[in-house]
Amino acid sequence: MKEAIKIGLLGSGTVGSGVVRVLRENMEEITARVGTRLVLAKVLVRDVKKPRPYLEGVELTDRVEDILEDDEISIVVEVMGGIKPAKDYMLRALAAGKNVVTANKDVVAQYGHELFDMAEAHDADFRFEASVGGGIPIIMPLKQCLTANRITEIMGIVNGTTNYMLTKMSECGASYDDVLKEAQEKGYAEANPSADVDGLDAARKAAILSSIAFNTRISLDDVSVEGITKITPDDIAYAKNLGYVVKLLAIGKETDEGINVRVHPVFLPEEHPLASVNGVFNAIFVRGNAVGEAMFYGPGAGSLPTASAVVADIIDVARDIVNHSFGRVNCTCYRKKVLCPIEKTRSSYYVRLLVEDKPGVLGAIATAFGNADVSLQSVIQTQRDKKEHAEIVAITHCVPHANILTALDVLNALPVVSEVRNLIRVENDRG
């Protein structure tokens, strides 16, 4: 058996303490699996005096140099979060020839290429399985298990907070504000929930997943983003009636027009494998030209689940150390593909309108859609409001986004239309 492999941990919050626990509790198995002992040598903390019973026996430091300049440490695990100084520390670790494992979606989504370049230059591993889908294996499955495929589509429920909220809204007809409050009380949503409900967190993951699926660098700025704040119980009720559930999806598709990557709420057919993924669970659905469809399901966050992914990366790096096979699978963005502008993306749409309740309105609306080159799959007038108003719900055929924008302009200009209440994409093109 080789000498022990030494690990330096940067940060010991939710994920970091999980990593410590998993390494401790499963050390016997892990040693047998790697063929070498892994040792947690040093942990970077902000305050070395703060009592941390779970770190007993481990050297604490508040100077990152103690880790980055320690020649015996070969794996640096970054679980501090944020861009600064995490990115800088990782670059320095790689430059020093150390292998880096991180859970940091912020850095990977925005600066992944810098880290990969540095890893390649120094023949080191850079791993980030935990950055998407928490404990769900998805990065390695994409890079290795599905690598015989040309992937054409990847769609994920990658934010537990919003999935919990939408699930609750769907189960009890509760309002957005009520479920947000409940999610905050349960610790599923932050006091400032913006990164989750506005879709930014999902957008980072969309960028990471798409970069790998399509072998071309997609950065956060390339992702078009829309959150769930406009979803009402009415939308969810209409969805149910029509055989759909509402989910916030991170979507990447490769079409003849290029790659398009986006985050937005979606009407998903009840039979879709992602439709029954509820609560804080996450899942990623992949379509490839050989496998057809596959899905990966599990806990998208949490101390131990996320540590499961981080420690798997550590073990894989350790296997590379044992076998001298660094960089066996690093950056897979070997192409430069064009992006498809959002206006050219195609989808079916659900459009909900508040209109005057008088004869001929339905005809006028249908004509307006037609004039914008949007053909309709169905249109129903329902739910009479008080005061001479009615709601119209239209489901369109698959049309370019530009057409639907034109249609909305035309509809808004119609005197009978009081309000466009919502516009949500409908995912219909399965199988």
Ligand X SMILES: NC(=O)c1ccc[n+]([C@@H]2O[C@H](COP(=O)([O-])OP(=O)(O)OC[C@H]3O[C@@H](n4cnc5c(N)ncnc54)[C@H](OP(=O)(O)O)[C@@H]3O)[C@@H](O)[C@H]2O)c1
Which spans of this chain sit near a second copy (rule: CB under 8 A)?
Answer: 18, 22, 25-26, 29-30, 32-33, 129, 135-137, 140-141, 144-150, 215, 273, 276, 288-299, 302, 304-305, 307-312, 314-316, 319-320, 323-325, 328-329, 332, 334-335
Would the annotation count 345 as a binding residue? no
Would the annotation count 10 as a binding residue? yes
- Ranges within 122-161 binding ligand X (CB under 6 A): 130, 134
SS (H, E, C) the chain: CCCCEEEEEECCCHHHHHHHHHHHHCHHHHHHHHCCCEEEEEEECCCCCCCCHHHCCCEEECCCHHHHCCCCEEEEEECCCCCCCHHHHHHHHHHCCCEEEECCHHHHHHHHHHHHHHHHHCCCCEECHHHCCCCCCCHHHHHHHCCCCCEEEEEEECCHHHHHHHHHHHHHCCCHHHHHHHHHHCCCCCCCCHHHHCCHHHHHHHHHHHHHHHCECCCHHHCEECCCCCCCHHHHHHHHHCCEEEEEEEEEEEECCEEEEEEEEEEEECCCHHHHCCCCEEEEEEEECCCEEEEEEEECCCHHHHHHHHHHHHHHHHHHHHHCCCCCCCCCCCECCCECCHHHCEEEEEEEEEEECCCCHHHHHHHHHHHCCCCEEEEEEECCCCCCEEEEEEEECCEEHHHHHHHHHHHHHCCCEEEEEEEEEECCCCC
Binding-site partner at residue 104 among ligand X, a second copy, none, CB < 5 to 8 Å by type? ligand X
Nearer to a second copy among residue 269 and residue 400 (C-beta): 269
Nearer to ligand X among residue 12 and residue 211 (C-beta): 12
Q: Per CB under 6 A, does 92 bind ligand X?
A: no
Binding-site partner at residue 45 among a second copy, ligand X, none, CB < 5 to 8 Å by type? ligand X
Nearer to ligand X among residue 60 and residue 322 (C-beta): 60
Spot the catalytic one: 6, 98, 205, 247.
205
CB of 339 to a second copy, least distance (A): 19
Do 286 and 142 touch, CB atoms closer than 8 A?
yes
CA distance 244 to 239: 5
Nearer to ligand X among residue 306 and residue 396 (C-beta): 306
Minimal CB distance to ligand X: which residue? 13
Out of 5, 12, 244, 308, name the contact with ligand X by CB under 6 A: 12
CB of 47 to ligand X, least distance (A): 6
Q: Per CB under 6 A, does 306 bind ligand X?
A: yes
Do 116 and 128 touch, CB atoms closer than 8 A?
no
Nearer to a second copy among residue 42 and residue 272 (C-beta): 272
Is 205 among the catalytic positions?
yes
Q: Per CB under 6 A, does 261 bind ligand X?
A: no
CB of 201 to ligand X, least distance (A): 8
CB of 15 to ligand X, least distance (A): 4
Q: Per CB under 6 A, does 46 bind ligand X?
A: yes
Instruction: Select the span of 5-13, 173-181, 334-342, 363-371 touching ligand X (CB under 6 A).
Output: 5-13
Out of 22, 30, 68, 104, name the contact with ligand X by CB under 6 A: 104
Q: Per CB under 6 A, does 80 bind ligand X?
A: yes
CA dihedral 383, 384, 389, 392 (to 10 degrees): 30
Q: Per CB under 6 A, does 394 bind ligand X?
A: no
Rg (CA), the chain: 24
Nearer to ligand X among residue 128 and residue 238 (C-beta): 128
Would the annotation count 14 as a binding residue? yes
Which residues make up each annotated binding site?
10-17, 105, 190
Residues classed as catalytic: 205
Which residues make up each annotated binding site for NADPH?
105
Binding site for ligand X (CB under 6 A): 11-16, 44-47, 79-81, 85, 103-105, 130, 134, 301-302, 306
